[in-house]
Amino acid sequence: MNDINEIIARLDAFFSREDLAGAKELLYTSLAQARAAGDKKLCASLYNEIMGFERQYGSLKAAVSAAQAALSLLEETGLSVSFPAAMMTLNAATVCKRAGDNETAAKLYMRAEELFNRFYPAGAAEFAGLYNNMASLYLDTGDYPKAEYYYDRAMGILNRTGKTSDLAVTWFNKALLYNRSDPFSGKTERCVDVGLRVLDIPEGERDGYYYYSCRKCAGAAAELGFFAAERELTERADAFYERH
């Protein structure tokens, strides 16, 4: 198998039924095959997928190792300034942030922003993910004005593109921001209310990513002490995964 798009399609099928063992096996088997074939570009793409998988479901140490390998292969293959490098650099930055290396994460986010500005059209939907992740870094480091700035930039794009699930997650992220920066203003509660309304869409419009986002919002709701919202969103996601 030497087509990253085919691998990602199979990977999505594993994720849709929450078969994490199957997803992991596919990733590492494909990587071994690509390495044996000497396909460095495919290896870089697979390391990109592996760093995301390990960050969310596995080992942060493995995620950091995959991020370093991906960035190194971009340099080796002359793709460090390229369209694929933009997203890989963003993902590597997110891994470093999750691992607590905020200094490296900040440098990689700035590099990712440069690559996004070079290779994506202004206001492209992909910028929303970049801005959300940059905001999260500034939230963690206590730079609340910058966090709010980047969350607002992400929201502007998501409102225009109609990405309901990501928009809801961003509202919950802003609730976390205001809970730290301005806890008595009522902004936290308003953000949670809006986030829940955004998620209130007909069942026929809900897909696997929607329910994955419900889980993310449920985690934020729990951190904020909105336990009824946490329970509702968790039950909604659990019901979907039990059916599939």
Number of Cα atoms under 13 Å in the Cβ half of residue 32: 5
Is there a single domain that holds both residue 94 and residue 164?
no
- The CATH number assigned to the domain holding 224 equals 1.25.40.10
Is there a single domain that holds both residue 103 and residue 138?
no
Is there a single domain that holds both residue 126 and residue 244?
yes
**3-state SS, residue 49:** helix
Cα 224 from chain centroid (whole Å) = 20
**Residue that is last in its domain, among 82, 100, 119:** 119
**Residue that is last in its domain, among 54, 88, 119:** 119
Helices 164-181, 126-140: inter-axial angle, 10-degree rounding: 20
pLDDT in 10s for each residue of the chain, 244 residues: 568 999 999 998 998 888 999 999 999 999 999 999 999 999 999 999 999 999 989 899 999 999 999 999 999 999 999 999 999 999 999 999 999 999 999 999 999 999 999 999 998 999 999 999 999 999 999 999 999 999 999 999 999 998 899 999 999 999 999 999 999 999 999 999 999 999 999 999 999 899 999 999 999 999 999 999 999 999 999 999 888 7
Is there a single domain that holds both residue 114 and residue 130?
no
CB 222 within 8 A of CB 230: yes
Contacts 24+ apart (CB under 8 A), 87-90: 87/48, 87/126, 88/44, 88/48, 89/115, 90/116, 90/129, 90/130, 90/133
Is there a single domain that holds both residue 99 and residue 144?
no
Nearest one of 206, 210, 140 to 173, comparing CA atoms: 140
H helix or E strand, kind and range, residue 116: helix 102-119
Is there a single domain that holds both residue 23 and residue 97?
yes
Burial class (CB in 10 A: 0-12, 13-18, 19+), 18: middle
**Could you tell me the residue range of the domain that residue 106 belongs to?**
1-119
Is there a single domain that holds both residue 196 and residue 84?
no
Joined together, the tokens standing for residue 130 give: 């970049």
**pTM reported for the whole predicted model:** 0.85
pLDDT attached to residue 2? 63
CB 2 within 8 A of CB 39: yes
**Residue that is last in its domain, among 72, 102, 119:** 119
The total of structural domains in the chain comes to 2
Is there a single domain that holds both residue 31 and residue 115?
yes
CB 125 within 8 A of CB 153: no
pLDDT attached to residue 243? 87
Is there a single domain that holds both residue 114 and residue 136?
no
Please list, in sequence order, all residues whose beta carbon lies within 8 angstroms of the beta carbon of residue 180, skipping any fewer than 6 positions away. Answer: 139, 144
Is there a single domain that holds both residue 33 and residue 109?
yes
Is there a single domain that holds both residue 205 and residue 154?
yes
Distance of alpha carbon 67 from alpha carbon 130, whole angstroms: 17
Other CB atoms within 10 Å distance of the CB of residue 85 = 24
Q: What is the CA radius of gyration of the chain?
A: 18
pLDDT attached to residue 94? 96
Is there a single domain that holds both residue 80 and residue 138?
no
